[in-house]
Amino acid sequence: MTFTFLTSIRSREYPFIVKTGADSDINGKESRATRKSKPLNLKKIAEIVPLLSILIAPLFLAFWSQESFDPEKLIDAAKTAMASVDSYTAVFHKQERINGNLTKEETIFIKFKRPFSVYMKWIKDPFKGRECLYVQGANNNRIKAHEGGILDLIKLNLDPLNSRAMKGNRHPITEVGLENLIRLIGMELQRGISAGEIQVKDLGEEMIYARKTRKIESIFPKEKGYFCFRAVVNLDTVFKVPIRSMIYDWRDQLIENYGYEEFKLNAGLTAADFDPKNPEYKF
């Protein structure tokens, strides 16, 4: 189509483009040896150059994007970015498929500090007011928790793998956080690339939570022990970390949908932020 369009431009609108000897008539008039070139029309040249630029630019950009796409480097950049982060806060969006049903999205304010301290407060329904606190090595490695509303009077100390702690969750609290997400996705991605059995697609830029991201889709082979069939990840172009991940099972059903917004990296969190006696908490 592009070739036809350019041919049309050449033959009908821009007579300054001179035809060659193949256009001589059967009597040999205007032969290649005798034809005189028409003078160049600079005004017409000025008109066609921008047009050609518009046609060629997308092809150049597509080629550049393809050449610069290296999923392993992007994951390495995410790991490097997180390695320099001591703590962070964010609004965590969580949706999972439990017993075949996709749950309602949960909206949680999260605090995280190395080596592994997590505070979570549900700030919207369906579990508004719920709080969880887990500090590795403290409280016998148990979760302090309570529900919202009138149930906040019931205080719980739960093993992370206890059935009550795991209710409505695909992962225990010990697997919460960006670093675990990056580690899991990076490990599976690198394994698949090394084996030459994974499809990785650059889906371009996408705005997520009002931030510019680079969207990547990975498709894994069946019956090879990978954690999912398809993973779609949005990497923040500034922070370099995934701010949304959508995981699909072997029937291509969405099973995990996680998002992070209102990021604050190296948030300066202290022990008080993970103390159950903090007056802002209800433990």
Residues 63, 78 share a domain? no
Q: At what angle are helices 178-195 and 71-83 packed, to 10 degrees?
A: 150
For 180-185, what is the mean pLDDT?
94
Q: Specify whether the CB–CB gap between 248 and 256 falls below 8 A.
A: no
Please say whether the beta carbons of 112 and 212 come within 8 A. Answer: no
Regarding whether 204 and 128 lie in a shared domain, the answer is yes
Band of residue 257 on the pLDDT scale cut at 50, 70, 90: very high
Its domain, for residue 124, covers 71-274
Cα separation, 67 vs 234, whole angstroms: 19
Indicate whether 126 and 190 sit together in one domain: yes
Tell which of 68, 85, 119 closes a domain. Answer: 68
Looking at the structure, tell me whether residues 97 and 221 fall in a common domain.
yes
Mean pLDDT of the chain: 85
45-97: per-residue pLDDT in tens? 556 655 555 555 554 444 444 447 899 999 999 999 999 999 999 999 999 99
Helix boundaries (H) for the chain: 2-8, 42-68, 71-83, 163-166, 178-195
CA separation (Å) from 274 to 81, 82, 87, 93, 119?
Answer: 24, 20, 12, 21, 6
- Examine the domain organization and report whether 60 and 77 are in the same domain: no
253 and 142, same domain (yes or no) = yes
State the total domains in the chain: 2
- Cα 224 from Cα 110, distance rounded (Å): 34
Q: Model confidence at 150, in pLDDT bands (50, 70, 90)?
A: confident
For residue 99, what are its two tokens?
Answer: 């017993």
**pTM score, whole prediction:** 0.75
Among 32, 47, 68, the domain boundary falls at 68
The domain boundary residue, chosen from 16, 50, 68: 68
Q: Return the percentage of the chain with pLDDT > 70, whole number.
A: 76
For the record, the structure tokens of 192 come out as 């698949």
